[in-house]
Amino acid sequence: MLTAAADAATSRQELDRIQAQTAASLQQTYNAITAFGAAASSQSDAARLAAAATAQAAAGGSSNDNAVAMADLRAGLQAVVDQVDQMQSENNAGNAAIAGNTGRVAKKLDDVTGQSRGDAISVVASEPVPVVAAA
């Protein structure tokens, strides 16, 4: 967003103003999220995101620049939430696979060490095969 603003700015003063507005917006968003985080621990991520965005919009005024910045900020935050949800799902699937494989290994070790009551891997001797002399 700041790169696009730098490309569109017609003066250094305008770019500084946009950067200051962005920093202030991010600080207000952080403050809103922090305030809502403690009070709204039972709410879903989407509900917290919407509440923070509403508080940010109320605190930030109603200029067109702020509305565009808020829309970009909401979209960016929603993308982060979506990415975290996806990573959590992938992590859960990986943990389930690890747990399944660990269970199979434990079962196999139980099978192998069962005859020695789990103390060691046991080997059962077989009957020797008689050697027949060649004629």
Where residue 120 falls (left for φ over 0; alpha for ψ -120 to 50; beta otherwise) is beta
Residue-averaged pLDDT of the chain: 76
Domain that holds residue 26: 2-116
pLDDT > 90: percent of the chain: 0
How far is CA 16 from each of CA 11, 25, 48, 71, rounded to the nearest angstrom? 9, 14, 30, 20
Residue 133 lies in a domain: no
Q: Report residue 65's pLDDT band, with 50, 70 and 90 as the boundaries.
A: low
Can you say how many angstroms the Cα of residue 76 is from the centroid of all Cα atoms in its chain?
15
Residue 131 lies in a domain: no
Task: Tokens for 108, please give them.
Answer: 């196999």
Whether residue 40 has pLDDT greater than 60: no
Residue 67 lies in a domain: yes
Residue 36 lies in a domain: yes
Residue 123 lies in a domain: no
Residue 132 lies in a domain: no
Residue 130 lies in a domain: no
Task: Tokens for 40, please give them.
Answer: 């709204």
Q: Are 51 and 43 in contact (CB under 8 A)?
A: yes
Global pTM reads 0.36
Residue 121 lies in a domain: no
The domain total for the chain is 1
Lowest mean pLDDT among 17-26, 46-55, 93-102, 115-124: 115-124
Q: Report residue 70's pLDDT band, with 50, 70 and 90 as the boundaries.
A: confident
